[in-house]
Amino acid sequence: MGRTLSTLGASALMIASMSCLAADGITVSRGADATVYGNCVPSLSVDNKSSETIDYLQVDLMLSLANGQQRVVELKSAYRDGVLYPIAPGGQATLKQHLDTSLPTGVACAEITARKAVRTICEAQNGTACASQVVVQP
């Protein structure tokens, strides 16, 4: 019985620590939409609750349009091969669409009916993958 209780205790401790890790990860949520030359330009807000610095973060959103079409939009923390804008632990940032390197949505913001994250790229220092979990709620 003592062994069963210690196993249960260890399991409970492991579950509690996993919950803490999820709470201390990287949270990405919907940011403000903007209209640029008649095209909707979505954004995402990043809250880095982890203990690591994020060098680069990209989330690709699949946008469903009122006319039944879909568009993929890349929202980035920086240009992929340009100057990085690190997101420090406890820091916040905005992921933006770079209109000079990607196609505009071609629709007004009111024409977007749904959003879904289809890919996430998170790199910490030295180009390594982020150890923290990235949770996207577009």
DSSP letter (8 states) at residue 87: B
Q: Tokens standing for 76? A: 């980035």
Predicted confidence at residue 98, as pLDDT, reads 87
How confident is the model over 94-128, as pLDDT tens digits? 999 988 878 888 899 999 999 999 999 999 988 89
CATH no. of 25-137: 2.60.40
How confident is the model over 9-63, as pLDDT tens digits? 444 434 343 444 445 899 999 999 999 999 999 999 999 999 999 999 999 999 9
Residue closest to 122 by CA, chosen among 25, 30, 8: 25
Residue with tokens 């019985």: 1
CA gap 56, 129 in Å, rounded: 10
Q: Where are the domains of the chain?
A: 25-137
pTM: 0.79
